């Protein structure tokens, strides 16, 4: 049992993890009206759990959900804030949201709760029975808490209705982006592998679904802020070659040699940023977790939090779209296949090779985008500690800033043995390009 006293004693980054712990230990019964900040943190914390425990939530799908949740939170708060402007008209396909009734009172926590609950129901409608129950209970808890907060019943009713209207607007908007329906866990029913030794082939013969690559059409989805999946293209990878003197072979050999001589620190880094589907909140969830920790540690205003979460989510979702577009444009072989074919037939990378093409590195692209956005919002250097993987046995890591963290996330894929260096370095550059679109959004009045 995690008591509130325990939580109160935590000095740094504590409350976010107390929220996680309390949720986990089944003690979430708000005794009094919840603040909008509590509502935001608890719903997003639950979303990170559901991403981990909902089978369709591979990293691209998770990034989409976190973007919609970020925009939902942002629009809910912005509609009642004199400091923020709506993202409608700035994001692809997002029309003007419902307006609040002029001169009427709203309970901001109730608005935010109703909006987030509605979008959560929509995004995680396919989660399992435990997830459905967790959503229902959190909704119930906040509803019970709301009536103790001093707002009139009319205000509560109006606020809930408005939050629901925001949720419906966001859900309707999301419906047409191409990413809302995930069949067969994201693996196409039929797929034609590209001929040629340089192209991706399945890497896990024991997983039946993974004999075809994940979400090959994801790069065609409607982005949020960037114009299209093609907006930040990459140059081709090194020309495929089996000649030991070639750049391609040398990069493969670097991955092979690095994996053979991993230091304890390199193993720690590879594990810390592994962020696998179904075993973590995925890369996008990892960065959202970082922002939630910073928000708590630095006592960010609600407006600042939703601005950061919205633009971070948008940048990462766009990064996955742009990255996936390039992945399937080049359809490059994974190190596992190449190294076993040409260097060492029994070679094993340190982490699992994910089931899709290599170039560019998804974590590098989206971490580059995330760091670009967060550095623009918070500045860089911006020291912080990250406890995201603590419950999986990883020691918290400290960073001088977002760019340091993103660079480490990128190189972790070399340590893990799942990428060549070019995919990491160019992926990061692609992320910077994509993040620029999120930075360009006008959020503050």
Tell me the window of 153-161, 164-172, 204-212, 283-291 that interacts with another protein (CB under 8 A).
204-212
**What HEC string does 268-300 produce?**
HHHHHCCCCCCCCCHHHHHHHHHHHHHHHHCCC
In the complex, least distance from residue 132 CB atom to another protein, rounded to whole angstroms:
8
Q: Mark the segment that binds another protein (CB under 8 A) among 26-34, 108-116, 285-293, 325-333.
A: 26-34
Segment near another protein (CB under 8 A), from 3-11, 88-96, 134-142, 166-174?
134-142
Q: Supply the minimum distance, in Å, between the C-beta of residue 293 and another protein.
A: 18
Cα separation, 207 vs 423, in Å, equals 25
**Identified binder of another protein from the candidate list 102, 195, 196, 239, rule CB under 8 A:** 195
Give the x-and-dash track for 261-280 against another protein (CB under 8 A): -----------------xx-
CA 269 to chain centroid, in Å, comes to 19
Tokens of 193: 């592998």
Residue from 9, 25, 99, 395 binding another protein (CB under 8 A)? 25
Task: For another protein, give the closer residue by CB, 154 or 175.
Answer: 175
Work out how close the CB of 290 gets to another protein at its nearest, in angstroms, rounded to a whole number. 19
Q: Which is nearer to another protein, 53 or 397 (CB)?
A: 53
CA distances to 76, 193, 213, 362, 442 from 421, in Å:
41, 24, 22, 13, 35
| Distance in Å, CB of 82 to another protein, minimum | 35
| 383 binds another protein, rule: CB under 8 A | no
Whole-number minimum distance, CB 161 to another protein, in Å?
A: 26
Give the DSSP letter of residue 10. Answer: -
CB atoms within 10 A of CB 74: 26
Query: What's the number of CA atoms in the CB half-sphere (13 Å) around residue 389?
Result: 21
Residue 336 binding another protein, by CB under 8 A: no
Does position 193 bind another protein by CB under 8 A?
yes
- DSSP, collapsed to helix, strand or coil, labels residue 236 as coil
Could you say whether residue 97 binds another protein (CB under 8 A)?
no
Is residue 27 a contact residue for another protein (CB under 8 A)? yes
Residues near 55 by beta carbon (within 8 Å), at least 6 away in sequence: 185, 278
User: For residue 367, which of 336, 306, 323 has the smallest C-alpha distance?
Assistant: 323
CA end-to-end distance (rounded Å), the chain: 44
**Pairwise CA distance, residues 189 & 195, whole Å:** 19
Interacting residue with another protein among 55, 176, 236, 379 (CB under 8 A): 55
Which residue is listed with tokens 């205000």?
Answer: 155
Does the footprint of another protein cover residue 28 (CB under 8 A)?
Answer: yes
CA distance linking residue 387 with residue 397, whole number of Å: 7
The site that binds another protein (CB under 8 A) totals a number of residues, namely 44
Residue ranges in contact with another protein by CB under 8 A = 23-28, 46, 49, 52-53, 55-56, 125-126, 128-130, 133-134, 137-138, 141, 182, 184-185, 187, 189-193, 195, 205-209, 211-212, 278-279, 391-393
């Amino acid at each position: 049992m995690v008591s509130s006293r325990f939580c109160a004693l935590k000095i740094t980054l504590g409350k976010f993890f107390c929220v996680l712990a309390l949720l986990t230990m089944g003690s979430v019964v708000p005794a009094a009206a919840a603040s909008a900040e509590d509502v935001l943190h608890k719903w997003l914390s639950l979303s990170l759990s559901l991403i981990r425990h909902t089978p369709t939530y591979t990293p691209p799908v998770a990034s989409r959900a976190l973007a919609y949740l970020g925009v939902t939170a942002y629009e809910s708060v912005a509609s009642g804030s004199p400091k923020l402007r709506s993202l409608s008209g700035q994001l692809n396909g997002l029309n003007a949201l419902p307006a609040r009734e002029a001169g009427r009172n709203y309970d901001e926590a109730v608005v935010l709760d109703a909006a987030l609950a509605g979008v959560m129901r929509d995004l995680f409608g396919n989660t399992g029975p435990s997830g459905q129950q967790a959503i229902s209970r959190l909704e119930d808890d906040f509803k019970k808490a709301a009536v103790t907060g001093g707002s009139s019943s009319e205000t509560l009713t109006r606020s809930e209705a408005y939050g629901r209207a925001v949720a419906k607007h966001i859900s309707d908007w999301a419906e047409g982006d191409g990413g809302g329906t995930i069949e067969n866990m994201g693996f196409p029913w039929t797929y034609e592998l590209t001929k040629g030794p340089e192209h991706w082939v399945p890497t896990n013969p024991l997983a039946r679904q993974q004999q075809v690559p994940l979400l090959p059409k994801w790069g065609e989805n409607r982005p949020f802020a960037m114009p299209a999946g093609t907006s930040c293209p990459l140059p081709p990878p090194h020309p495929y070659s089996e000649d030991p003197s070639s750049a391609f072979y040398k990069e493969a050999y670097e991955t092979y040699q690095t994996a053979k001589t991993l230091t304890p620190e390199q193993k720690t880094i590879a594990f810390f940023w592994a962020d696998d589907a179904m075993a973590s909140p995925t890369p996008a969830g990892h960065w959202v977790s970082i922002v939630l920790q910073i928000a708590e540690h630095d006592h960010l205003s609600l407006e600042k939090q939703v601005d950061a979460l919205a633009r971070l989510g948008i940048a990462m979702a766009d990064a996955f779209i742009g990255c996936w577009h390039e992945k399937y444009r080049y359809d490059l072989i994974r190190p596992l296949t190449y190294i076993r074919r040409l260097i060492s037939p029994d070679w094993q990378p340190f982490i699992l090779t994910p089931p899709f093409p290599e170039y560019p590195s998804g974590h590098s692209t989206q971490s580059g985008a995330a760091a670009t956005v967060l550095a623009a919002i918070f500045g860089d250097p911006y020291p912080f500690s990250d406890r995201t993987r603590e419950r999986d046995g990883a020691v918290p890591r400290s960073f001088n800033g977002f760019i340091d963290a993103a660079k480490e996330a990128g190189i972790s894929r070399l340590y893990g043995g799942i990428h060549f260096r070019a995919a990491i370095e160019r992926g990061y550059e692609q992320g910077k390009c994509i993040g620029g679109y999120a930075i360009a959004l006008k959020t503050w009045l």
